[in-house]
């Protein structure tokens, strides 16, 4: 039985369904601060914080948990700058509680949701490998890197098999009821602008990229969920392997203008952006090297940017009560 923390969230619900399709039993622990219980169907739900020791102990015992997939976290970069101590509490202190309770319960399989935010602003525009120097530039990225360090130390000390997945930019939807309800990422932000009949904002058009706008690696949430299934299989079949760190992306970059053009094609609406000043701290390009994920997990992405935008738009319309 796998316990998935944060399993009622946007990514979490996709991961839960992918695990279930693989034949694995799942129980979710989520405080529902951002998650939506209805996304889980009849999947068992423990409504609690990851920092709730008693809830963890009861869940481990009652559901005979032998693996934990940890997705629950606060992830808004701007909020992390405004509330750094809150982010350290939620993302690091709560993780410490989880790891301590796992050691007490004898659970030695762990998959950790990390982020490309650990890299900060790389010095070059080369593909980012897992050995690229980590220099996070905000508290969110710092807490994710600290979580990796805690996972590495715990796995080494107690003979665990663990995996830390560094997500790049997640987009898309697997099913209509699994839309990304947030408006922090580029594609949902563009959809909201279209709904409000205002042009989406393009922050800077003078970067050293193909068209002057920032380039990012977008990965379909369905592919990301499949990567989690592969990660679970890896830690199930490689005992005491320590903590393995992998990038999860496509290895391909898309500029902001390319995303806007793709949105226009998918929606039939004019998504032409309005140029505004650069935002502080935006790197010109962040694209993953994904060779290691392929070598270790046998996983590669299968969906392109058009797939992501089209699926996200269909789910967005469903989520906002619109019909075809």
Q: State how far the Cα of 302 lies from the Cα of 289, in Å rounded to an integer.
A: 15
- At residue 282 the predicted structure's pLDDT band, cuts being 50, 70 and 90, is confident
Tens of pLDDT, residues 82-101 = 999 999 999 999 999 999 99
- At residue 323 the predicted structure's pLDDT band, cuts being 50, 70 and 90, is very low
26 near 92, Cβ under 8 Å? no
Rounded to an integer, the average pLDDT of 145-164 is 98
Q: What is the pLDDT of residue 141?
A: 93
Q: Six-digit token pair at 318?
A: 């469903």
Tens of pLDDT, residues 28-62 = 999 999 999 999 999 999 999 999 999 999 999 99
Phi, psi angle pair for 14, to nearest 5°: -65, -40
Lowest mean pLDDT of 76-80, 194-198, 277-281, name the range: 277-281
Residues 6+ apart with CB under 8 A from 160: 108, 109, 110, 154, 240, 242, 243
In the CATH scheme, what is the homologous superfamily, with its name and number, of domain 2-170+219-248? NAD(P)-binding Rossmann-like Domain (3.40.50.720)
Q: State how far the Cα of 298 lies from the Cα of 233, in Å rounded to an integer.
A: 11
Residue 63 has pLDDT above 70, yes or no: yes
The dihedral sign for the CA sequence 244, 245, 248, 251: negative
Cα three-residue angle 37-161-21, rounded to 5 degrees:
40
Strands 169-171 and 218-220, by their bridges, are parallel
Rounded to an integer, the average pLDDT of 115-137 is 90
For CATH 3.40.50.720, the residue range(s) in the chain are 2-170+219-248
What is the CATH code for 172-216+251-289+303-319? 3.90.25.10
Q: Which residue has the higher pLDDT, 179 or 37?
A: 37
Lowest mean pLDDT of 112-116, 160-164, 275-279, name the range: 275-279
Residue 67 has pLDDT above 90, yes or no: yes
What DSSP element (H or E) covers 72? none
Of all residues in the chain, the percent with pLDDT exceeding 90 is 80
DSSP state, 119?
G
Q: What is the pLDDT of residue 321?
A: 54
Lowest mean pLDDT of 174-188, 217-231, 259-273, 280-294, name the range: 174-188
Strands 26-29 and 45-46, by their bridges, are parallel
| Residues designated catalytic | 140
For CATH 3.90.25.10, the residue range(s) in the chain are 172-216+251-289+303-319
Q: What is the pLDDT of residue 156?
A: 97
Residue 324 has pLDDT above 60, yes or no: no
Rg (CA), the chain: 19
Q: State how far the Cα of 265 lies from the Cα of 242, in Å rounded to an integer.
A: 45
- pTM of the shown model: 0.92
Round the average pLDDT of the chain to a whole number and report it: 93
The dihedral sign for the CA sequence 51, 140, 156, 14: positive
Of all residues in the chain, the percent with pLDDT exceeding 70 is 98
The dihedral sign for the CA sequence 218, 127, 227, 37: negative
Tens of pLDDT, residues 189-247 = 999 999 999 999 999 989 999 999 999 999 999 999 999 999 999 999 999 999 999 99
Residue 292 has pLDDT above 70, yes or no: yes
């Amino acid at each position: 039985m796998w316990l998935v923390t944060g399993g009622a969230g946007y990514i979490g619900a996709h991961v839960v369904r992918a695990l279930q399709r693989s034949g694995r039993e799942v129980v979710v622990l989520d405080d529902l601060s951002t998650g939506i219980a209805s996304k889980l169907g009849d999947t068992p739900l423990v409504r609690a914080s990851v920092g709730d020791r008693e809830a963890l102990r009861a869940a481990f015992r009652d559901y005979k948990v032998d693996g934990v997939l940890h997705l629950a976290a606060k992830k808004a970069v701007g909020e992390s700058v405004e509330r750094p101590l809150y982010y350290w509490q939620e993302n690091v202190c709560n993780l410490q509680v989880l790891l301590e309770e796992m050691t007490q319960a004898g659970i030695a399989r762990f998959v950790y949701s990390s982020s490309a935010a650990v890299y900060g602003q790389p010095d070059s525009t080369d593909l980012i490998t897992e050995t690229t120097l980590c220099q996070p530039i905000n508290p969110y990225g710092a807490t994710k890197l600290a979580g990796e360090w805690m996972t590495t130390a715990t796995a080494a000390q107690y003979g665990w098999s663990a995996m830390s997945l560094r997500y790049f930019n997640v987009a898309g939807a697997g099913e209509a009821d699994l839309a990304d309800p947030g408006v922090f990422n580029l594609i949902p932000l563009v959809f909201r602008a279209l709904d409000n009949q205002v042009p989406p904002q393009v922050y800077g058009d003078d970067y050293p990229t193909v068209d002057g706008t920032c380039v990012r690696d977008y990965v379909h949430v369905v592919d990301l969920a499949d990567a989690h299934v592969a990660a679970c299989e890896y830690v199930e079949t490689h005992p005491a392997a320590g903590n393995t760190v992998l990038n999860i992306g496509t290895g391909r970059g898309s500029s902001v203008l390319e995303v806007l053009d793709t949105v226009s094609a998918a929606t039939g609406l004019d998504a032409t952006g309005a140029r505004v000043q650069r935002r502080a701290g935006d790197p010109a390009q962040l694209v993953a090297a994904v060779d290691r994920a392929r070598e270790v997990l046998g996983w590669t992405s299968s969906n392109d940017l058009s797939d992501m935008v089209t699926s996200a738009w269909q789910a967005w319309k469903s989520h906002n009560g619109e019909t075809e």
